[in-house]
Amino acid sequence: MKRHWLGYCFLVCGLFNQANGSDVEHAYDPTIERQFYQSLSTQTDSMDVATRIERLSHLFMGAPYVGGNAGEGPGGQFDKDPLIRFDVFDCTTYVETVLAGIQSASAGSFKDNLIRIRYQHGQVNFVQRNHFPSLDWLPNNRKILQDITGRVAPTQFQQARTQIDRAAWYRHLSAKSIACKQGCEALLERLHVTGQHFQVVQADLPYVPLTAVFLGPDKQVNQALLDRIPSGSVINMVRPDWALKKWIGTNLNVSHQGFVLRQDGRLILRHASVTHQQVVDEDFIDYFAQYDASSSLKGFNLQSIRL
């Protein structure tokens, strides 16, 4: 399997899709795919975002976590993994699938919406893929996402800054990064060359620090802040200037993505979890309480969804 040792930390799934890839093989059960498309046809204009997110994301509960499970399809130049998957997910492909689904009424419109979310200008190729959340994925999806971090923590939010070296990341890609069957050495060399024109770019992202969620030495929960988080929000786990250059060629500032939902008066995190190796629900407070001051995870960014 195409795994990196960092896969056992919380990592940015959309980026490591290409750094690690996927060679998982198993019997495909089309049941979930049918249920998903049937759910699209029953969405109504009266359904709010949170309702749509909850019902579609719930279909995939328990689906296996597999990093690097999606690519550009059999006609892709570099990554020939399937464009659409319903059987396995990583954190980013899970979020992308659900986001595309809540905007769609049919299989055809779902595919179009998924491509618009995953690729710049809707062009299906490796170079146009939104590999970096803070530099690509979030800015290029402003039509459907609105940053609400400052609204949730108006006096407490901070900025995560890092330098994204995309060219160095391309140079670090290995043969395991692409679903290649033959001619891999030449293909990989072409991929390395393709990325060398990119310049280093600063990526900034606002985040709610965990010190604003857990207050004082007794770590009292800031319920007023939590009450301002809308159900159905996209959450991005923030690790400011995350020191990964040694391993992947560049530092990052986002390590994980998922959804925040409100159920029975409490917040839950619904996500494709590398720790649990499947799509799960976790109590929001319990999830973040496991990180102390020594952790590189310092907080989270929040995005509301526009329909």
Give the pLDDT confidence of 238-282 residue by residue, as tens digits.
999 999 999 999 999 999 999 999 999 899 999 999 999 999 999
Share of the chain above pLDDT 70, in %: 91
Q: What is the span of the domain harbouring residue 194?
A: 5-305
**Mean pLDDT, range 271-296, rounded to an integer:** 97
**Per-residue pLDDT at 185:** 87
pLDDT digits (tens, 9 = 90+) for 190-202: 999 999 999 999 9
Q: Decide: helix, strand or coil at residue 33.
A: helix
Min mean pLDDT across 50-54, 172-176, 177-181 is at 177-181
Q: What band does 10 get if pLDDT is binned at 50, 70 and 90?
A: very low
- Mean pLDDT: which of 18-22, 68-72, 163-167, 184-188 is highest? 163-167
Task: Show Cβ contacts of residue 301 under 8 Å, excluding neighbours closer than 6 positions.
Answer: 138, 147, 149, 160, 205, 206, 207, 208, 235, 236, 238, 254
User: At residue 99, what is the residue type?
Assistant: L
Region 160-186 average pLDDT? 86
Q: What is the CATH number of the domain that holds 71?
A: 2.30.260.10
Q: Which of the listed ranges 11-15, 21-25, 196-200 does the model predict with the highest average pLDDT?
A: 196-200
User: What is the pLDDT, as a whole number, of residue 184?
Assistant: 84
Residue closest to 259 by CA, chosen among 130, 102, 106: 102
Count Cα neighbours of 13 within 13 Å in the Cβ-side half-sphere. Answer: 30
CA 229/CA 225 separation, integer angstroms: 7
The answer, yes or no, to whether residue 7 has pLDDT greater than 50, is: no
- The residue among 32 and 23 whose pLDDT is bigger is 32
Helices (H) and strands (E) in the chain, counts: 12, 10
Does 3 have pLDDT greater than 60? Answer: no
Percent of the chain at pLDDT above 90? 80
Cβ count within 10 A of residue 205 = 22
φ, ψ (nearest 5 deg) of residue 101: -65, -40
Find the mean pLDDT for residues 88-94.
96
Lowest mean pLDDT among 1-5, 65-69, 119-123, 209-213: 1-5
Q: What is the pLDDT of residue 174?
A: 81
How many structural domains compose the chain? 1
Are 202 and 165 in contact by the 8 Å Cβ rule? The answer is no
pLDDT at residue 8 tops 50: no
